[in-house]
Amino acid sequence: MSFLLHPRLDADTVVLGELPLCRVLLSLDGRYPWVVLVPRREGIREIHELSTEDRAVLVEECAAISQAMQTTLSADKMNVAALGNMVPQLHVHVVARYEGDDAWPGAIWGAHPPLSYLGEQRAARIAQLRAAFGDIVAFEPGAERPE
**Per-residue model confidence as pLDDT tens digits over 79-130:** 999 998 889 999 999 999 999 999 999 999 888 999 999 999 999 999 999 9
Is 7-103+112-133 a domain of CATH 3.30.428.10?
yes
Q: How confident is the model at residue 147 (pLDDT cuts 50, 70, 90)?
A: very low
Question: What's residue 139's pLDDT?
Answer: 78
Mean of the per-residue pLDDT values for the chain?
A: 92
Cβ neighbors of 118 (< 8 A, separation 6 or more) are 30
Cα separations in angstroms, 47 against 55, 73, 115:
7, 27, 29
Q: Which residues pair with 29 in a beta bridge?
A: 116
